[in-house]
Homo-oligomer: A and B are copies of this chain.
Amino acid sequence: MDLISFQPTDEETAFITLAKTLAEEVLRPAARSSEEERQAAREWTIKANELGFAALELPERWGGMEMTLISQAQILEALSNGDLALVQGLPGPGDAASFMRLAPENQAFAAYRRTGEGGQWPTVAFLNACDPGVSQSINITGASFENGYVIKGISRPVKMAAFAAYLLLAAPGPDGKTRLFWLDKEQTRWRAIPGDYRLGLLASGWARVQFDDLTVTKDAVVAEGRDADRLLSRALARLRVLEAAKEVGLMTAALSYATEYTATRRAFGQELAKFQGVSFQMADMAVAVQAARLLVWRAASALDREEPEAPGLSLDALSRAHRSLRLVTDSAVQLLGGHGYVQDHPVEKWMRDAAAQIALNGGEQDLLLRRGEQLLTEERETVS
Protein backbone atom coordinates (compact mmCIF):
# COMPACT_ATOMS: atom_id res chain seq x y z
CA MET A 1 0.00 0.00 0.00
CA ASP A 2 1.13 3.47 -0.81
CA LEU A 3 2.62 5.39 2.08
CA ILE A 4 1.53 8.82 0.93
CA SER A 5 -1.64 9.79 -0.82
CA PHE A 6 -1.88 13.20 -2.38
CA GLN A 7 -4.49 13.98 -5.01
CA PRO A 8 -5.05 17.71 -4.74
CA THR A 9 -8.11 19.32 -6.22
CA ASP A 10 -7.60 22.36 -8.42
CA GLU A 11 -8.73 24.54 -5.54
CA GLU A 12 -6.17 23.01 -3.21
CA THR A 13 -3.42 23.43 -5.78
CA ALA A 14 -4.41 27.06 -6.23
CA PHE A 15 -4.29 27.62 -2.50
CA ILE A 16 -0.81 26.18 -2.24
CA THR A 17 0.44 28.45 -5.00
CA LEU A 18 -1.25 31.43 -3.39
CA ALA A 19 0.37 30.57 -0.07
CA LYS A 20 3.83 30.61 -1.66
CA THR A 21 3.18 34.00 -3.20
CA LEU A 22 1.87 35.50 0.02
CA ALA A 23 4.83 34.10 1.94
CA GLU A 24 7.26 35.86 -0.34
CA GLU A 25 5.39 39.09 -0.92
CA VAL A 26 3.63 39.75 2.35
CA LEU A 27 4.84 37.58 5.23
CA ARG A 28 8.60 37.62 4.83
CA PRO A 29 8.76 41.43 4.37
CA ALA A 30 6.51 41.92 7.42
CA ALA A 31 8.50 39.62 9.71
CA ARG A 32 10.67 42.14 11.54
CA SER A 33 8.11 44.87 11.95
CA SER A 34 5.40 42.52 13.22
CA GLU A 35 7.92 41.21 15.76
CA GLU A 36 8.58 44.74 16.99
CA GLU A 37 4.91 45.59 17.18
CA ARG A 38 4.09 42.29 18.79
CA GLN A 39 1.32 41.65 16.31
CA ALA A 40 0.58 41.08 12.68
CA ALA A 41 0.04 43.99 10.36
CA ARG A 42 -3.60 44.71 9.74
CA GLU A 43 -3.25 44.18 6.03
CA TRP A 44 -2.06 40.63 6.45
CA THR A 45 -4.76 39.62 8.91
CA ILE A 46 -7.51 41.06 6.76
CA LYS A 47 -6.09 39.53 3.61
CA ALA A 48 -5.67 36.16 5.28
CA ASN A 49 -9.29 36.06 6.30
CA GLU A 50 -10.55 37.29 2.93
CA LEU A 51 -8.56 34.67 1.09
CA GLY A 52 -9.95 32.00 3.36
CA PHE A 53 -6.84 30.91 5.22
CA ALA A 54 -8.75 30.96 8.47
CA ALA A 55 -11.27 28.43 7.18
CA LEU A 56 -9.08 25.66 5.74
CA GLU A 57 -9.88 23.22 8.55
CA LEU A 58 -13.48 24.26 9.18
CA PRO A 59 -16.33 21.95 8.23
CA GLU A 60 -17.83 22.31 4.77
CA ARG A 61 -21.26 22.55 6.18
CA TRP A 62 -20.10 25.69 7.96
CA GLY A 63 -18.83 27.12 4.70
CA GLY A 64 -15.29 26.10 5.53
CA MET A 65 -12.94 24.30 3.16
CA GLU A 66 -12.62 21.07 5.19
CA MET A 67 -9.41 20.53 3.29
CA THR A 68 -7.33 17.36 3.47
CA LEU A 69 -4.58 17.52 6.04
CA ILE A 70 -1.97 16.87 3.41
CA SER A 71 -3.00 19.92 1.43
CA GLN A 72 -3.16 22.04 4.58
CA ALA A 73 0.31 20.78 5.42
CA GLN A 74 1.68 22.19 2.22
CA ILE A 75 -0.13 25.47 2.62
CA LEU A 76 1.13 25.90 6.16
CA GLU A 77 4.64 24.92 5.13
CA ALA A 78 4.58 27.55 2.39
CA LEU A 79 3.22 30.28 4.66
CA SER A 80 5.59 29.47 7.51
CA ASN A 81 8.49 29.67 5.11
CA GLY A 82 7.51 33.34 4.98
CA ASP A 83 7.18 33.84 8.73
CA LEU A 84 6.13 31.36 11.39
CA ALA A 85 5.13 33.95 13.97
CA LEU A 86 2.60 35.46 11.57
CA VAL A 87 1.17 32.04 10.83
CA GLN A 88 0.80 31.32 14.53
CA GLY A 89 -0.76 34.74 14.87
CA LEU A 90 -3.40 34.21 12.21
CA PRO A 91 -6.77 35.41 13.43
CA GLY A 92 -9.66 33.00 13.23
CA PRO A 93 -10.63 29.71 14.87
CA GLY A 94 -6.97 28.64 15.16
CA ASP A 95 -6.41 25.25 16.76
CA ALA A 96 -10.06 25.05 17.76
CA ALA A 97 -10.94 24.49 14.11
CA SER A 98 -9.86 20.85 14.33
CA PHE A 99 -12.35 20.28 17.13
CA MET A 100 -15.04 22.01 15.13
CA ARG A 101 -14.25 19.87 12.12
CA LEU A 102 -14.56 16.70 14.15
CA ALA A 103 -17.76 17.77 15.91
CA PRO A 104 -19.51 20.19 13.56
CA GLU A 105 -22.94 19.77 15.09
CA ASN A 106 -21.85 20.29 18.64
CA GLN A 107 -24.19 22.72 20.31
CA ALA A 108 -21.46 24.60 22.11
CA PHE A 109 -20.10 25.77 18.75
CA ALA A 110 -23.48 26.87 17.37
CA ALA A 111 -23.21 30.57 18.17
CA TYR A 112 -19.66 30.80 16.88
CA ARG A 113 -20.74 29.05 13.72
CA ARG A 114 -23.50 31.56 13.11
CA THR A 115 -21.14 34.48 13.64
CA GLY A 116 -18.54 33.09 11.33
CA GLU A 117 -20.91 32.07 8.60
CA GLY A 118 -22.15 35.61 8.70
CA GLY A 119 -18.88 37.41 8.11
CA GLN A 120 -15.46 36.87 9.60
CA TRP A 121 -14.35 34.06 11.87
CA PRO A 122 -13.58 35.55 15.30
CA THR A 123 -10.33 34.57 16.98
CA VAL A 124 -10.32 31.57 19.28
CA ALA A 125 -7.49 30.45 21.55
CA PHE A 126 -7.05 26.82 22.62
CA LEU A 127 -5.68 25.85 26.01
CA ASN A 128 -4.91 22.21 26.75
CA ALA A 129 -4.74 21.95 30.52
CA CYS A 130 -4.89 18.15 30.29
CA ASP A 131 -1.37 17.96 28.97
CA PRO A 132 0.86 16.51 31.68
CA GLY A 133 3.94 17.56 29.80
CA VAL A 134 3.11 21.19 30.18
CA SER A 135 3.59 23.02 33.41
CA GLN A 136 0.63 25.02 34.54
CA SER A 137 -1.87 25.11 37.31
CA ILE A 138 -5.47 25.14 36.31
CA ASN A 139 -7.78 23.85 38.98
CA ILE A 140 -11.41 22.91 38.64
CA THR A 141 -13.52 22.42 41.74
CA GLY A 142 -17.16 21.87 42.40
CA ALA A 143 -19.39 18.84 42.22
CA SER A 144 -21.60 19.20 39.22
CA PHE A 145 -22.61 21.40 36.37
CA GLU A 146 -25.98 22.26 37.88
CA ASN A 147 -24.31 24.01 40.76
CA GLY A 148 -21.57 25.16 38.46
CA TYR A 149 -17.97 24.05 38.22
CA VAL A 150 -15.47 26.70 39.27
CA ILE A 151 -12.28 27.22 37.31
CA LYS A 152 -9.39 28.88 38.99
CA GLY A 153 -5.79 29.43 38.07
CA ILE A 154 -3.40 30.80 35.50
CA SER A 155 -2.05 29.04 32.47
CA ARG A 156 1.18 29.04 30.53
CA PRO A 157 1.28 31.44 27.58
CA VAL A 158 -1.32 30.54 24.94
CA LYS A 159 -1.02 31.74 21.37
CA MET A 160 -3.48 34.36 20.19
CA ALA A 161 -4.99 34.58 23.67
CA ALA A 162 -4.11 38.27 23.62
CA PHE A 163 -6.57 38.82 20.79
CA ALA A 164 -9.06 35.99 21.25
CA ALA A 165 -12.76 36.50 21.90
CA TYR A 166 -13.24 32.83 22.73
CA LEU A 167 -11.34 30.14 24.56
CA LEU A 168 -11.56 26.39 24.01
CA LEU A 169 -10.35 24.79 27.21
CA ALA A 170 -9.52 21.14 27.87
CA ALA A 171 -9.10 20.42 31.54
CA PRO A 172 -9.44 17.52 33.97
CA GLY A 173 -12.46 17.92 36.22
CA PRO A 174 -12.54 17.35 39.96
CA ASP A 175 -13.63 13.78 39.24
CA GLY A 176 -10.61 13.24 37.03
CA LYS A 177 -12.69 13.13 33.88
CA THR A 178 -11.66 15.23 30.92
CA ARG A 179 -13.84 18.13 30.02
CA LEU A 180 -13.86 20.46 27.04
CA PHE A 181 -15.29 23.91 27.59
CA TRP A 182 -16.27 26.65 25.18
CA LEU A 183 -15.78 30.01 26.91
CA ASP A 184 -17.04 33.22 25.39
CA LYS A 185 -14.90 35.99 26.86
CA GLU A 186 -17.75 38.43 27.18
CA GLN A 187 -19.85 36.05 29.14
CA THR A 188 -17.36 34.11 31.19
CA ARG A 189 -14.78 36.82 31.76
CA TRP A 190 -11.60 34.79 31.51
CA ARG A 191 -8.67 37.16 31.34
CA ALA A 192 -5.71 37.39 29.00
CA ILE A 193 -2.59 38.44 30.89
CA PRO A 194 0.03 39.72 28.49
CA GLY A 195 3.72 39.32 29.26
CA ASP A 196 6.97 40.90 28.24
CA TYR A 197 8.24 38.11 26.04
CA ARG A 198 11.64 38.21 24.42
CA LEU A 199 12.39 34.81 22.98
CA GLY A 200 10.44 34.35 19.77
CA LEU A 201 7.10 34.13 17.98
CA LEU A 202 6.53 37.60 19.38
CA ALA A 203 3.86 38.46 16.82
CA SER A 204 1.66 35.52 17.80
CA GLY A 205 -0.37 37.23 20.48
CA TRP A 206 0.80 35.15 23.43
CA ALA A 207 -0.85 35.75 26.76
CA ARG A 208 -1.48 33.71 29.86
CA VAL A 209 -5.07 32.92 30.56
CA GLN A 210 -6.34 33.61 34.04
CA PHE A 211 -9.50 32.24 35.61
CA ASP A 212 -10.70 34.10 38.66
CA ASP A 213 -13.18 31.63 40.13
CA LEU A 214 -14.96 31.44 36.82
CA THR A 215 -18.17 29.47 37.02
CA VAL A 216 -19.21 27.22 34.14
CA THR A 217 -22.44 25.35 33.62
CA LYS A 218 -23.68 22.86 31.05
CA ASP A 219 -23.95 25.45 28.27
CA ALA A 220 -20.21 25.78 28.19
CA VAL A 221 -19.52 22.06 27.85
CA VAL A 222 -18.40 20.76 24.47
CA ALA A 223 -17.81 17.22 25.72
CA GLU A 224 -16.91 15.33 28.85
CA GLY A 225 -15.55 12.01 29.97
CA ARG A 226 -14.80 9.51 27.25
CA ASP A 227 -16.35 11.65 24.54
CA ALA A 228 -14.02 14.44 25.53
CA ASP A 229 -11.02 12.10 25.60
CA ARG A 230 -11.81 10.85 22.14
CA LEU A 231 -12.42 14.27 20.65
CA LEU A 232 -9.31 15.70 22.29
CA SER A 233 -7.19 12.79 21.18
CA ARG A 234 -8.35 13.00 17.57
CA ALA A 235 -7.98 16.76 17.40
CA LEU A 236 -4.50 16.66 18.92
CA ALA A 237 -3.36 14.18 16.30
CA ARG A 238 -4.41 16.67 13.60
CA LEU A 239 -2.89 19.62 15.42
CA ARG A 240 0.46 17.90 15.78
CA VAL A 241 0.66 17.34 12.07
CA LEU A 242 -0.28 20.95 11.35
CA GLU A 243 2.36 22.21 13.79
CA ALA A 244 4.94 19.90 12.26
CA ALA A 245 4.07 21.25 8.80
CA LYS A 246 4.65 24.80 10.00
CA GLU A 247 8.01 23.77 11.41
CA VAL A 248 8.98 22.26 8.07
CA GLY A 249 8.27 25.66 6.53
CA LEU A 250 10.51 27.49 8.97
CA MET A 251 13.36 25.01 8.69
CA THR A 252 13.16 25.17 4.91
CA ALA A 253 13.58 28.94 5.03
CA ALA A 254 16.65 28.59 7.25
CA LEU A 255 18.15 25.87 5.07
CA SER A 256 17.67 27.83 1.85
CA TYR A 257 19.10 30.97 3.32
CA ALA A 258 22.14 29.23 4.77
CA THR A 259 22.75 27.33 1.54
CA GLU A 260 22.63 30.46 -0.54
CA TYR A 261 24.82 32.42 1.86
CA THR A 262 27.43 29.67 1.97
CA ALA A 263 27.43 29.05 -1.78
CA THR A 264 27.71 32.76 -2.54
CA ARG A 265 30.72 33.23 -0.33
CA ARG A 266 32.36 30.27 -1.96
CA ALA A 267 31.60 31.66 -5.37
CA PHE A 268 33.37 34.84 -4.41
CA GLY A 269 36.35 32.96 -3.10
CA GLN A 270 35.94 34.01 0.48
CA GLU A 271 37.10 31.96 3.39
CA LEU A 272 37.70 28.93 1.29
CA ALA A 273 39.34 26.99 4.08
CA LYS A 274 36.23 27.15 6.16
CA PHE A 275 34.13 25.33 3.69
CA GLN A 276 35.77 22.02 4.03
CA GLY A 277 33.65 21.21 7.01
CA VAL A 278 30.57 22.89 5.73
CA SER A 279 29.61 20.54 2.93
CA PHE A 280 28.27 17.85 5.05
CA GLN A 281 26.74 20.13 7.63
CA MET A 282 24.61 21.33 4.70
CA ALA A 283 23.80 17.79 3.67
CA ASP A 284 22.91 16.89 7.22
CA MET A 285 20.51 19.82 7.35
CA ALA A 286 19.02 18.93 3.97
CA VAL A 287 18.31 15.34 4.97
CA ALA A 288 16.85 16.50 8.28
CA VAL A 289 14.40 18.76 6.45
CA GLN A 290 13.54 16.08 3.92
CA ALA A 291 12.89 13.48 6.58
CA ALA A 292 10.72 15.89 8.56
CA ARG A 293 8.66 16.74 5.48
CA LEU A 294 8.15 13.12 4.51
CA LEU A 295 7.03 12.27 8.04
CA VAL A 296 4.52 15.11 7.95
CA TRP A 297 3.14 13.93 4.61
CA ARG A 298 2.98 10.37 5.86
CA ALA A 299 1.12 11.32 9.03
CA ALA A 300 -1.19 13.67 7.14
CA SER A 301 -2.01 10.95 4.64
CA ALA A 302 -2.64 8.45 7.40
CA LEU A 303 -5.02 10.82 9.17
CA ASP A 304 -6.80 11.67 5.92
CA ARG A 305 -7.30 7.97 5.28
CA GLU A 306 -8.09 7.22 8.93
CA GLU A 307 -5.39 4.56 9.21
CA PRO A 308 -5.08 3.06 12.71
CA GLU A 309 -1.39 4.01 12.94
CA ALA A 310 -2.21 7.65 12.31
CA PRO A 311 -2.05 8.94 15.91
CA GLY A 312 1.37 7.35 16.43
CA LEU A 313 2.57 8.80 13.13
CA SER A 314 1.46 12.27 14.25
CA LEU A 315 3.71 11.91 17.32
CA ASP A 316 6.59 10.86 15.06
CA ALA A 317 6.05 13.77 12.74
CA LEU A 318 6.07 16.42 15.45
CA SER A 319 8.93 14.98 17.48
CA ARG A 320 11.12 14.72 14.40
CA ALA A 321 10.05 18.18 13.23
CA HIS A 322 11.21 19.58 16.57
CA ARG A 323 14.58 17.89 16.26
CA SER A 324 15.17 18.89 12.65
CA LEU A 325 14.00 22.43 13.35
CA ARG A 326 16.45 22.84 16.17
CA LEU A 327 19.31 21.40 14.15
CA VAL A 328 18.65 23.54 11.10
CA THR A 329 18.02 26.89 12.82
CA ASP A 330 20.99 26.44 15.18
CA SER A 331 23.25 25.48 12.27
CA ALA A 332 22.08 28.39 10.15
CA VAL A 333 23.09 30.85 12.87
CA GLN A 334 26.45 29.16 13.29
CA LEU A 335 27.14 29.02 9.56
CA LEU A 336 26.57 32.73 9.22
CA GLY A 337 29.01 33.40 12.06
CA GLY A 338 28.94 37.08 12.90
CA HIS A 339 26.26 37.67 10.30
CA GLY A 340 24.11 35.24 12.23
CA TYR A 341 23.97 37.73 15.05
CA VAL A 342 22.78 40.79 13.20
CA GLN A 343 19.34 41.75 12.10
CA ASP A 344 20.27 42.20 8.46
CA HIS A 345 19.96 38.47 8.22
CA PRO A 346 16.80 36.69 9.36
CA VAL A 347 18.54 33.62 10.83
CA GLU A 348 18.72 34.93 14.40
CA LYS A 349 14.97 35.61 14.40
CA TRP A 350 14.34 32.15 13.00
CA MET A 351 16.38 30.59 15.79
CA ARG A 352 14.40 32.44 18.40
CA ASP A 353 11.10 31.61 16.77
CA ALA A 354 12.16 27.96 16.58
CA ALA A 355 13.11 27.85 20.26
CA ALA A 356 9.78 29.36 21.27
CA GLN A 357 7.91 27.01 18.96
CA ILE A 358 9.50 23.92 20.46
CA ALA A 359 9.22 25.07 24.07
CA LEU A 360 5.53 25.86 23.70
CA ASN A 361 4.61 22.75 21.76
CA GLY A 362 5.38 19.89 24.00
CA GLY A 363 9.10 19.36 23.60
CA GLU A 364 10.65 16.46 21.78
CA GLN A 365 11.26 14.22 24.80
CA ASP A 366 7.67 14.26 25.85
CA LEU A 367 6.39 13.20 22.43
CA LEU A 368 8.93 10.40 22.16
CA LEU A 369 7.95 9.18 25.59
CA ARG A 370 4.31 8.95 24.63
CA ARG A 371 5.13 7.29 21.37
CA GLY A 372 7.32 4.71 23.07
CA GLU A 373 4.68 3.90 25.62
CA GLN A 374 2.20 3.42 22.82
CA LEU A 375 4.54 1.16 20.83
CA LEU A 376 5.23 -1.02 23.85
CA THR A 377 1.56 -1.19 24.80
CA GLU A 378 0.46 -2.13 21.28
CA GLU A 379 3.15 -4.81 21.23
CA ARG A 380 2.09 -6.23 24.55
CA GLU A 381 -1.46 -6.47 23.30
CA THR A 382 -0.25 -8.31 20.23
CA VAL A 383 1.76 -10.75 22.33
CA SER A 384 -0.95 -11.59 24.86
Residue in A270, A313, A355 whose Cβ sees the most chain B Cβ within 10 Å = A355
Q: Which of chain A's residues 328-365 have a Cβ closer than 8 Å to chain B?
A: 330, 333-343, 348-349, 351-352, 355-356, 358-360, 362-365
Residue of B nearest to A373 (CB): B279
| Residues on B with beta carbons closer than 8 Å to the beta carbon of A206 | 341
Is A3 located at the chain interface by the 8 A CB criterion?
Answer: yes
A interface majority secondary structure? helix
**CA of A258 to CA of B4 in the docked complex: distance in angstroms?**
27
Question: Given contacts A342-B195, A351-B355, A352-B199, is CB(A3)–CB(B274) below 8 Å?
Answer: no
Question: Given contacts A157-B338, A333-B355, is CB(A262)–CB(B376) below 8 Å?
Answer: yes
Is A276 located at the chain interface by the 8 A CB criterion?
Answer: yes
Is A189 located at the chain interface by the 8 A CB criterion?
Answer: no
| Residues on B with beta carbons closer than 8 Å to the beta carbon of A195 | 342-343
| Complex contact B274–A277 (CB within 8 A) | no
**CA of A7 to CA of B362 in the docked complex: distance in angstroms?**
37
Total identical chains: 4
| Residues on B with beta carbons closer than 8 Å to the beta carbon of A283 | 315-316, 319, 367-372, 375
Is A110 located at the chain interface by the 8 A CB criterion?
Answer: no
Of B198, B280, B293, B313, the residue contacting A372 (CB under 8 A) is B280
Q: Quick one: CB contact mask for A298-332 with B, threshold 8 Å, 1 for yes? A: 10000000000000010110011000001000100
Is A282 located at the chain interface by the 8 A CB criterion?
Answer: yes
6 further A-B contacts with Cβ under 8 Å, apart from A132-B274, A277-B277, A290-B298, are A196-B343, A274-B366, A276-B279, A282-B375, A337-B359, A352-B352
Q: A-side interface residues toward B, CB under 8 Å?
A: 2-4, 6-7, 132-137, 155-157, 195-199, 206, 208, 259-260, 262-267, 270-284, 286-287, 290-291, 293-295, 297-298, 313, 315-316, 319-320, 326, 330, 333-343, 348-349, 351-352, 355-356, 358-360, 362-373, 375-377, 379-380, 382-384
